[in-house]
Amino acid sequence: MPKLTIDGKEIEVADGLNLIQAAEQIGVEIPHYCYHPALTIVGNCRMCLVEVEKAPKLQIACNTKVAEGMVVHTQSAKTKTAQKAVLEFLLINHPIDCPVCDQAGECKLQDYYMQYDEQVSRFPLEKKVRKGKAIPIGSDVMLDQERCVLCARCTRFFDEVTHTSELAIFERGDHNEIDIYPGQPVNNKYAGNVIDICPVGALTEKDFRFRMRVWYLHRATSVCGGCERGCAIDIHHQRGRIYRYKPRYNPEVNSYWMCDEGRHHFTKLQNETRLTAPLVQDRERLMPEEWSVAVRRLASQIGNFKKSFGPRSIGAMIGAQATNEEAFALKRLLLDTIGSDRIAMVSYTPPGMSGDDEFLIRANKNPNTRGLEAMGIPPAHFSEFGAAVAAGELKMLILMRTDLLGMMGETEFIRDFGALEYLVVLDTDASETAQMANQVLPIGAYPETDGSFTNFKGRVQRLSQAFPPPGEALTGIEAIARLGHAIDGQERTADANAIFTQLAASEPAFEGISFDALMPYGISLKGAAQ
């Protein structure tokens, strides 16, 4: 643990850190472009030059390791002169694009110019070297060569992380430029990460470009629901719409990265088919009704089936897209309130999806299979449920986040479940199953709820609600709480934190975990292999 002094402040830090990391620990920013903690150090941008006493000249902080007795100045006149010089140099051929550049608001060239430079350019506009603009280089990535500061973060990402090496630096001197090899576009499943790590507006996202200024966006910390890896993300949203997902650092799950499939997962959650009001089947049509009427109607149906055929005439299936809290609340509703143990999990992946790879992507596209397993909800065997229907033992089926008809196909669904007397759907979208239901209760998608997912390794991570569900839709836990209240008159909490506390108290695998402790990196289930 070497002791060193940065800007007059003595600190003791872990051995092996570089000066950027050491300074960060006392809240001192050393500006940098090429350094990225998950990539090798190339030291080519020189933005991180600092004065180190006894060194003959300024040192690059990214490639200078801390040492006992080191004295570093990040604010000295020498350091400041170097920072101005580097920025002036980087800006010589930079286009005057800021007003129309999509990176504005999160561009390190803009930010550092305002913080460390602020001098008028001495270089005539007409002499700037012109390079390519708005070049689609494959996947979802647009390249603007003029804006590039040649930090080589993108080339290193493709060389060191995906090992696909699609990008390289071509030409020489001030004609240096980033490009793809002729006829070989960027075409790997993690390409979007270079958009995140590019410190300027040289690499931007085709889908996001010009859709929203970044300073209007709000952020919610969450977890990608695209597969059972559960990459930590930030949801960038505005007025009830998601504009993009960005990976959030979690050393236990995804480091700094996410896949492109996950990056676009939100587009499936905000389409025209979203359910916005409770619906009831009325003369072969689904008609909207108030929540209070809907839950009273459903409670009374549950009461009738219980009375006439016993509690096990009512069953439920829950998709592994549900949060831990939703699954626990539904399990308790079935077991304690209704008195039926007929509850099972559906962990379904549609055909044609990508399989496991050696990096992040998992073949199982359900974010919470492990969570539901850990609370003892068994996998659903459709044939067993179907047999119970055929035998007249199962009369009412509650489906939460489960498009049973879409999974089975119409013929099989009608064969196995056509004899059901009452079908209830709690879901986000007007799925094929919802069209067949007697009652439909609209609930929020995972970005619209507080809660948690447990990934395939048993890491429990927290989701924060970005915004409420659309229209009259409620969060899944609120819908279950209202239904429970309509059945037995007991108030139930719809607060994710409170439900998680109950879950941790009664499910052994979750014992000792608190909802608050799930931020920022999650906690592993008891006994889960790391």
- The site for ligand FES (CB under 6 A) is made up of 32-35, 43-48, 60, 62
Q: Does 445 engage in binding with ligand SF4 (CB under 6 A)?
A: no
Q: Which does 360 bind (CB under 5 to 8 A by kind): ligand SF4, ligand FES, none?
A: ligand SF4
Q: What is the DSSP letter of 376?
A: T
Q: What are the distances in angstroms from CA 440 to CA 236, 290, 334, 447?
A: 29, 12, 18, 21
**518 in Cβ contact with 452 (< 8 Å):** yes
Nearest-approach distance from CB 63 to ligand FES, in angstroms: 6
Min dist. Cβ of residue 44 to ligand SF4 (A) = 9
Q: How far is the CB of 252 from ligand SF4 (least distance, A)?
A: 13
Under rule CB under 6 A, how many of the chain's residues touch ligand SF4?
Answer: 27
Question: Which residue in the set 361, 477, 483, 487 belongs to the binding site for ligand SF4 (CB under 6 A)?
Answer: 361
Residue 312: CB atoms within 10 A of its CB come to 17
d(CA 245, CA 264): 7
Work out whether 262 is an interface residue with ligand SF4 (CB under 6 A).
Answer: yes
Report whether 268 contacts 245 (CB < 8 A). Answer: no
Q: Which does 158 bind (CB under 5 to 8 A by kind): ligand SF4, ligand FES, none?
A: none
Q: Are 90 and 176 in contact, with CB atoms under 8 Å apart?
A: no
Asked if residue 473 binds ligand SF4 (CB under 6 A), the reply is no
The H-assigned helical ranges of 274-381 are 291-309, 324-332, 369-374
Q: Say how far apart CA 522 and CA 482 lie, in whole Å.
A: 29
With beta carbons less than 8 A apart as the criterion, state whether 47 and 33 touch: yes
- One character per residue 163-202, x = contact with ligand SF4 (rule: CB under 6 A): ---------------x-------------------xxx-x
Of the candidates 425, 80, 398, 386, the residue with the CA atom closest to the CA atom of residue 279: 425
Does residue 426 touch ligand SF4 according to CB under 6 A? no
Which of 149/407 has CB closer to ligand SF4?
149
Shorter beta-carbon distance to ligand FES: residue 59 or 321: 59
Convert 449-466 to b/e letters by CB count within 10 Å (16 or more is b).
bbbbbbbbbbbbbbbbbb
Task: Name residue 199's amino acid.
Answer: P
Residue 319 to residues 314, 389, 403: CA-CA distances in angstroms?
A: 17, 20, 9
In the complex with ligand SF4, which residue's Cβ is closer, 36 or 73?
A: 36
Stretch that binds ligand SF4, among 48-56, 119-127, 258-266, 508-516 (CB under 6 A): 258-266
The answer to whether the peptide bond before residue 520 is cis (omega within 30 degrees of 0) is yes
By DSSP bridging, strand 49-52 and strand 59-60 are antiparallel
Report, in Å, the least distance between residue 171 CB and ligand FES: 21
Contacting ligand SF4 (CB under 6 A), which of 31, 95, 192, 226?
226
Site for ligand SF4 in 133-152 (CB under 6 A): 148-152
The CA-atom distances, in angstroms, between 18 and each of 50, 58, 60 are: 12, 15, 10
Helix (H) or strand (E) holding 170: strand 167-170
CB-nearer residue toward ligand SF4: 313 or 347: 347
Residue type, 336: D
Write down the H helix ranges in 381-474.
382-390, 404-408, 410-417, 432-436
How far the first Cα of the chain sits from its last, in Å, is 27
Q: Which residues, numbered 112-131, are part of the site for ligand SF4 (CB under 6 A)?
A: none
Rounded CA-CA distance 414/289 in Å is: 27
198 binds, among ligand SF4, ligand FES, none (CB under 5 to 8 A by kind): ligand SF4
Q: Which position's Cβ is nearest ligand SF4?
A: 262
CB under 6 A: which stretch of 225-233, 295-303, 385-393, 489-497 binds ligand SF4? 225-233
Among residue numbers 314 through 353, which ones bind ligand SF4 (CB under 6 A)? none
Pick from 48, 142, 224, 302: which binds ligand SF4 (CB under 6 A)? 224
Q: Which does 231 bind (CB under 5 to 8 A by kind): ligand SF4, ligand FES, none?
A: ligand SF4
Which among ligand FES, ligand SF4, none contacts residue 148 (Cβ within 5 to 8 A by kind)?
Answer: ligand SF4
Of ligand FES, ligand SF4, none, which one does residue 332 interact with (CB within 5 to 8 Å by kind)? none
Residue 229 interacts with ligand SF4 (CB under 6 A): yes or no: yes
Which of ligand SF4, ligand FES, none sits in contact with 46, Cβ below 5 to 8 A by type? ligand FES
For 30, how many CA atoms within 13 A lie in the half-sphere containing its CB?
A: 33
Which of ligand SF4, ligand FES, none binds 62 (CB below 5-8 Å, type-dependent)? ligand FES
Question: Can you tell me the distance from the alpha carbon of 449 to that of 476, in angstroms, rounded to the nearest whole number?
Answer: 8
C-beta closer to ligand SF4: residue 188 or 438: 188
CB of 42 to ligand FES, least distance (A): 7
Residues within the interface to ligand SF4 (CB under 6 A): 148-154, 178, 198-200, 202-203, 224, 226-227, 229-231, 254, 258-259, 261-262, 360-362
